[in-house]
Structure 1
Amino acid sequence: MTDVPQQELIALPPPDGDRHSARGIGEAVMCPIAPALVNALAMATGHRFRETPITPDKIREALK
């Protein structure tokens, strides 16, 4: 897990008046997306980004 950037989990409460407490599982498949993108950027730039979000300015700085 040393190549995975530090991430912060923000859990939001359900909206007022929401009678259903069930949650979808669609978010679970999104977990590998950020590390895959960060690894692709590392391969393309030669720089390992350790924090998200990775902004265009951070990419430009790494390419200098």
Structure 2
Amino acid sequence: MIWNYIKADSFFRDYLPHVKNYKHKIRGKNGRGNPVEFPPADKAAIKAGLEQLFKDLSNDFKEL
């Protein structure tokens, strides 16, 4: 999964502050042990946030 390479706390804080309980959703369980996952709207927002992150990274490397 992408969270092995990108720190989730920083990513969600900077690019998707409106997504709540992302730690539970990444783990797949809530505090009571019930299954939970990202809804389709959050998945689309994550894809858009990743595209923005990659665009920001490429711009940073162009400046070097």
**Structure number with bigger Rg:** 1
TM-score > 0.5, shorter chain as reference: no
Q: Higher helix share goes to which structure?
A: 2
Q: More relative contact order in 1 or in 2 (CA 8 Å, sep 6+)?
A: 1
The bucket for the TM-score relative to the shorter chain is 0.3 to 0.5
